[in-house]
Chain A
Amino acid sequence: EVQLLGSGGGLVQPGGSLRLSCAASGFSFSSYAMSWVRQAPGKGLEWVSAISDTGDDTYYAGSVKGRFTISRDNSKNMLYMQMNSLRAEDTAVYYCAKDVNWNIAMASFDYWGQGTLVTVSS
């Protein structure tokens, strides 16, 4: 059974940093691209960042580019998101999602984690 377990969310002040983690199991993690998708309270879904199977290729939404860094450790089946210079508008539930592809040329997310809440507030 595919499982994606997100963690690392919490309350952080504007300008602060946070590192999200996503533990993957039940599939060959190193064979698939992964993404982070967020959902602000009461709002819709917004794709944030993607990483290819090897980690060689990454891509970011304009709203987070230069502030967030996606990475992965295939030896540990872990996906990460380092979030710096956080703003109030980054407040959201962050989901990790598994892609059906190995690369990030196109996207289709067949499994999602349970989400971890990030709150940016003073």
Chain B
Amino acid sequence: DVVMTQSPLSLPVTLGQPASISCRSSQSLVYSDGNIYLNWFQQRPGQSPRRLIYKVSNRDSGVPDRFSGRGSGTDFTLKISRVEAEDVGIYYCMQGTHWPWTFGQGTKVEIK
């Protein structure tokens, strides 16, 4: 199975400051069609997960532009340019390239 390793697992951030979450895969996530099926999800307390980013860097409709994704091969990053109170929650990366599809452990973002 592809292991997805996130860091840090806990991320205290000051409001208005940037935040960055790393996600590394144990093997390349490039699919045979040339795409990389790397997704980022946000799970706010008590809520279902919500997709923020798909195929590494594509932001979902309605997702604020302070969220961005980048990366290639096995190394990926989710960045929040200026953290707001509503960004508190757990963030997961997930690879949809190789069966079985796997998630990272999750990174808990909280306000200092």
Contacts and interface: CB of A to CB of B under 8 A. Distances in A.
Interface of A: 37, 44-47, 50, 59, 61-62, 95, 100, 106-110, 112-115
A113 B90 CA distance: 17
Contacts of A107: 37, 94, 96, 101
Nearest to A46: B103
Given A44-B92, A45-B103, A47-B103, A108 B31 contact: no
A44 B100 contact: no
A90 B60 CA distance: 31
Nearest to B102: A47
Given A44-B92, A47-B101, A110 B48 contact: no
A61 B100 contact: yes
B50 interface: yes
B105 interface: yes
Question: Interface size class for chain B?
Answer: 20 to 34
Given A45-B49, A46-B103, A108 B39 contact: yes
15 contacts: A44-B92, A44-B105, A44-B106, A45-B92, A47-B100, A47-B101, A47-B102, A61-B100, A95-B48, A95-B49, A108-B51, A108-B55, A109-B51, A112-B48, A114-B48
B34 to A, nearest CB: 12
B97 interface: yes
B99 A109 contact: no
Nearest to B47: A114
A109 B39 contact: yes
Contacts of B97: 106
